[in-house]
Chains A and B, each alone.
Chain A
Amino acid sequence: MNHLPPSVQKVLEGSIDPKSQHILEQLSQTFLIALTIISFVLSYFSSSVILGLEAFLGGLVILLLAAVPPWPYLNRYPIKFLPVRKLHQT
């Protein structure tokens, strides 16, 4: 990937800030648990296994779309670095 221009590399790497990483991890866990329960209930009451699996897949696609690309809402808490100190003034 190193032969690509730096701007393209930055988009492909898609880093997000640490606080958002933490929130995203918990949210995706919770979302998947809820999705499992919902698709099981759906498949049980419609008595169709296929429908439950389709519901799970649909939810997963939504989660991937929301969480994988570096959307602006995942960069709301950027780290404020201290300014660079100049040690040797010439």
Chain B
Amino acid sequence: MYSTLQRLNHISSLATTYVMILLGLISIASFLSLPSVDVGKVEIKDLIVSKGRLRRWGARQEELASLKFDLRTDLNPLLNSYNTKQLFIYLTAAYEVQSTGHAHEVVLWDRIIQRAEIRDIRAEVKNKYQWRNPSGTFKDVEYANMTLHYSLMPYVGILSSGVAATAQGPVTIPELIKR
């Protein structure tokens, strides 16, 4: 603390320590005060399975499922919580292939919602990513469970995630539409 430079050095190094403590306090407090989410509803509409090609060179025709869905869930508690920078929400379909018993989980749609953005996402939306089965057919798949997950990205601290909405019961996969 003798000269100007020493004082500048000493105080700024002390301040670095205390800003780390402050950020630690913030991350602990925000982790402890995470809001609970009422699980909303996903309504699946117009789920169809048809023959198609993925946009890839030399792709063969295979069965692709496409769908529209309605989303009804309140994300305000999450977006207005203490330490939220943005939310990542994504819709997954979890299903099991009957013959092999393999379980699959695929992401069909996702979206990033930032804190300052409008929270109204009531619009009817389509699947953003192609839904195909590795075997190329949906014959062995009877039904799928649709879930809307969220991941909360904080300014500082631990990522947390959970379920924001689910479909009412399993969704039956329909027969292939022949053209």
Residues of A at under 8 Å CB distance from B? 12-16, 21-22, 24-25, 28-29, 32-33, 35-36, 39-40, 43-44, 47-50, 52-53, 56, 60, 63-64, 67-70
Contacts and interface: CB of A to CB of B under 8 A. Distances in A.
25 contacts: A14-B3, A15-B3, A16-B2, A22-B1, A24-B1, A25-B1, A28-B10, A28-B11, A28-B14, A36-B21, A40-B29, A47-B81, A48-B82, A49-B83, A49-B155, A52-B22, A52-B26, A53-B22, A60-B15, A64-B8, A64-B12, A68-B4, A68-B7, A68-B11, A69-B4
A34 to B, nearest CB: 10
Contacts of A32: 14-15, 18
Which 5 residue pairs across A and B have the least CB separation, nearest first? A14-B4, A21-B1, A49-B155, A47-B82, A32-B18
B47 interface: no
B69 to A, nearest CB: 32
B3 A24 contact: no
Interface string B2-42: 11100110111011001101100110011000000000000
A40 B25 contact: yes
Interface of B: 1-4, 7-8, 10-12, 14-15, 18-19, 21-22, 25-26, 29-30, 80-83, 155-156
A40 B80 CA distance: 18
Quick one: which of B7, B25, B29 has the most chain A CB within 10 A? Answer: B7
A71 B38 CA distance: 58
Contact of B26 (A24, A43, A67, A68): A43
B53 to A, nearest CB: 47
Given A28-B14, A36-B19, A68-B8, 14 more contacts: A12-B4, A13-B3, A24-B1, A28-B10, A32-B14, A33-B18, A36-B21, A40-B22, A52-B22, A52-B26, A53-B22, A56-B18, A64-B12, A67-B11
